[in-house]
Structure 1
Amino acid sequence: MIDVEGFRANVGIILTNQLGQVFWAKRIGQNSWQFPQGGIKSYETLEQALYRELTEEVGLTRDHVEILGMTQQWLYYNLPYHLIRHHKRPLCIGQKQRWFILRLLGKESDVRLDLSGTPEFDGWRWVNYWHPLREVVPFKRKVYESALKELEPLCPALKRPA
């Protein structure tokens, strides 16, 4: 779903474990790491898109996770010029995303990267909550930083004692 400004609606997923670490996934066949994310279909709610993407990309279902929260506003990033598909219509110049923070209730062995006919990831690991800011591609960094800052207070394992 691309809006009139050229931004594709998308959900981003920050999956946490009991230690407050986040799920960090390696793009298939690349040395590029990111959080799971994906487009919202025209007939889907944000939560429906979240669960579909979670299952397609990570193999987890709603029974494996608990939603802790979501960003209040859309967060935007522009694609670098060389990644814009100038011949496609409607033209997509970037993404607008609503980010969810989830807690894993299931086991690590529930994670399956191979359930989709076209897997997006071929590896994953748990990393420190702020680690993704060091590794994500530069054009996504501000969105990642905004989402992590806004959602940090909702991650129980990161709460500081009073």
Structure 2
Amino acid sequence: MSHECIDSEGYRANIGIILMNSSKQLMLGGRIDSRGWQFPQGGVHKNEEPIQAMFRELYEEVGLVESDVEILSITNDWLKYKLPKKYIRKNSKPICIGQKQLWFLLKLVSDCNAIQFDKCNKPEFDCLRWVNFWHPVNEVIYFKRRVYARALYELGLSVYPEGLPQRPKSWPKSWIADFEKDIEELL
């Protein structure tokens, strides 16, 4: 982690990528190391601007280059989540307690066949799915849910100015309460 930026509070600078196709479906990558699904994401290196990190991660994780996408929106600020204690590497210095992420909403302007998972030595994903707008909140590991919901809300307004798709009725009440609280902070 020596080339990555961890701030004074212990948050690792990171970018998140929400890739949308022409049908307004979102790409979820299937992680090689588990059965989990998530958006592409990755750390911002020292002396690297977030947009540079985004294009680097876009290429490393899904094989796309700048001409394959159009930037639709970027979150106004870093969105943070804390790692559960079992994921904190206590022997690392500085200690990383979580991530602060700048999120990018991208539209895929190339063919879906341009997506490739073999552009780096250690691929993150081995498959993908195109899903409806709020579905990623259901799929991501529990400690990233609030950040996903907040990023989708903020970035989705650029694609759905008339109003976001309705949230799933199946969300537990605790998710809805957290979501409403986070949205109030954005307003």
Tell me the TM-score range normalised by the shorter chain: over 0.9
1:77 aligns with 2:81: yes
Shift of 1:29: 3.2
- SS at 1:143 equivalent: helix
- Structure 1 Cα separation of the partners of residues 94 and 161 of structure 2: 43
1:130 matches 2:127: no
Within 5 A, what are the aligned runs for 1:1-162? Answer: 1-155=5-159, 158=160, 160=162
Q: Following TM superposition, where does structure 1 have runs of at least 4 consecutive aligned residues deviating by more than 2 angstroms?
A: 158-161
For residues 4 and 39 of structure 1, the distance between their equivalents in structure 2, rounded to whole angstroms, comes to 16
Encode CA deviations 1:58-111: one digit per residue, 9 max, x unaligned.
000000000001000110000010010001101000000000000000011100
Counterpart contact for 1:56–1:116, Cα < 8 Å: yes
What is the distance in 1 between the residues matched to 2:45 and 2:75? 19
Check conservation: 1:29, 1:122, Cα contact below 8 A.
no
Q: What's the TM-score, normalizing by structure 2?
A: 0.83
Task: State the partner residue of 2:170.
Answer: none
**Which whole-Å deviations, capped at 9, do the CAs of 1:87-143 have from their partners, x for residues lacking one?**
110100000000000000001110001111110111111000110011111100000
Structure 2 stretches of 5 or more lacking a match? 164-187
The count of corresponding residues between Structure 1 and Structure 2 is 159
Cα distance, 1:153 vs. partner? Answer: 1.6
1:28-66 deviation per Cα after TM superposition (whole angstroms, max 9, x unaligned)? 031101000000011111110000000000000000000
More strand by share: 1
RMSD over aligned CA atoms reads 1.1
| C-alpha deviation, 1:160, in angstroms | 4.6
Counterpart amino acid of 2:53?
A: A
SS in 2 for 1:154: coil
Gaps of 5+ in 1: none
Q: Partner amino acid for 1:150?
A: E
Q: What secondary structure sits across from 2:99 in the alignment?
A: strand
Amino acid of the structure 1 residue aligned with 2:109? L
User: Which amino acid in structure 1 is aligned with residue 51 of structure 2?
Assistant: E
Identity of aligned residues (%): 50
Hey, what's the Cα distance between the residues in 1 that align with 2:30 and 2:104? Answer: 19
Q: What amino acid maps onto 1:128 in structure 2?
A: N
**Bigger relative CO (Cα 8 Å, ≥ 6 apart):** 1
